[in-house]
Structure 1
């Protein structure tokens, strides 16, 4: 098996098409082999390197060149401690040497409208969506740039679950909200490659077709559990759903989706400049 075939097998294991030949760029190989890192060395990356990573993030594609993303690097110890205390199950939020928050910034365009005498009202659904996508694109770009420089990363979307407190800690104005945080630093130890869903249900040709979903998911659950099983004490919502004899990825994710995360987020947005008209 070639190096490329091995990478595809590690990532999908679905007997689908593999990479062939030696023309695949190193950047693509790095993407295929990427891992999420939650343990970091204590040393801080050079400030010059962080400046380059921020510049790379801000070089990401942007809807209509509106550039509706802002980066907030959280350096203040008290703020960082307060933020980490909200999510004790994720100690890497406080332990990572560097922590960024990627902000969807619909405020800037609306302020520009006022500066130039134009009736810009950017609290619409379109404004929310465009700013969110810009922030997500910048986030992923920084992840890839950081990993290319030997750093590890872990995105943190849970910030939105406690949006009122998070926004207060970060002193966020109206029309600006966190899409995700990003832990960043030099990895300490190895991390595993996460097996992704089979491509037969995520890559469609000419039309959307999910007829093969049930069988493909059952197979995926078994293959993923064989590589990295979820322990019985990590099963979610046992009081509600009981303990499953086999607890695969789909059981875990559907239980997770029933938890109603982010319930405060829509209310926060409506109170801080968005009407989604």
Structure 2
């Protein structure tokens, strides 16, 4: 079995396409084998490497060349600690050698319109959507480039759950909002390759078809549980939903999604320049 085929089997385990006949490719292998890292050594990446990673991130695709992503590196120890204190269950926010925040920046295009005497109303749904995607693409590009240099990363999307407090700490102006944080450093422990949903329900041809969802999810739950089961003491909201005899990925995610997250994010956005018209 080729390295690519082995990587596909480990990532999906879904008895799907094995990429037989495809040429081996180092980048594709790295993507298939990538993992989240939450434990880091004390070794600090060089400033030259961090500058290069930032440049690579900002070279990602951008909607209409508007370039509505900004990257904030958080070096101030007090600010870093303040953000870490908001999420005590995630000590790696404070412990990682480097912490970036990727920002959706709808403000810059708005200001450029003012500078050129052509008013731009960029607080629309389209403006928010474009800036969010630009920031996400920039972050993913940094992730892949960082990992190719032996670094490990952990995206922190939970910062949107406290968007108003995070924005205050970072002194963000109107029309600039946090999309996600990113912990970065040299790994001190190996992360695990997270099993992804079967491709039969996440890839479609010519039309969307989820008729096999129930059976596929049940199969996925069982296979994932055999690899890295969720401990009983980590079941969510047992007081509300009861303890599950079998607690698979879908039960965990259904419970998580049933408890609304990010309640402060929409009010924060509306208060800071977005009308979503």
Q: CA deviation at 1:20?
A: 2.4
Aligned pairs for 1:188-267 within 5 A: 188-267=188-267
Partner of 1:45: 45
Q: CA deviation at 1:2?
A: 2.3
Query: Matches of 1:18 and 1:29 in 2, distance apart?
Result: 13
Partner of 2:87: 87
Q: CA deviation at 1:22?
A: 6.5
Query: Matches of 1:202 and 1:164 in 2, distance apart?
Result: 34
2:119 equivalent to 1:126:
no
SS of residue matched to 1:178: strand
Query: Matches of 1:103 and 1:11 in 2, distance apart?
Result: 30
Query: Matches of 1:221 and 1:269 in 2, distance apart?
Result: 36
- Asked if structure 1 preserves the Cα contact closer than 8 Å seen for 2:3 and 2:29, the reply is no
Kindly provide the CA deviation profile for residues 149-203 of structure 1, in whole angstroms up to 9, marking residues without a partner as x: 1000000000010111111100000000000000000001111100000000000
Kindly provide the CA deviation profile for residues 196-254 of structure 1, in whole angstroms up to 9, marking residues without a partner as x: 00000000000000000000000000000000000000000001100000000000000
TM-score (norm. length: structure 2): 0.99
Query: Matches of 1:139 and 1:264 in 2, distance apart?
Result: 23
Q: CA deviation at 1:3?
A: 1.7
Query: Matches of 1:257 and 1:225 in 2, distance apart?
Result: 20
**CA-atom RMSD in angstroms:** 0.7
Query: Matches of 2:99 and 2:111 in 1, distance apart?
Result: 27
Aligned pairs for 1:130-209 within 5 A: 130-209=130-209
SS of residue matched to 1:104: strand
Partner of 1:74: 74
SS of residue matched to 2:252: helix
Kindly provide the CA deviation profile for residues 120-173 of structure 1, in whole angstroms up to 9, marking residues without a partner as x: 010000000000000000000000000001000000000010111111100000
Query: Matches of 2:129 and 2:3 in 1, distance apart?
Result: 39
Q: CA deviation at 1:25?
A: 1.4
Query: Matches of 2:2 and 2:145 in 1, distance apart?
Result: 26
Q: CA deviation at 1:24?
A: 2.5
Large movers: runs of 4+ above 4 Å: none
TM-score (norm. length: structure 1): 0.99
- Asked if structure 1 preserves the Cα contact closer than 8 Å seen for 2:35 and 2:191, the reply is yes
Query: Matches of 1:213 and 1:21 in 2, distance apart?
Result: 29
In structure 1, list runs of 5 or more residues that go unmatched.
none
Partner of 2:111: 111
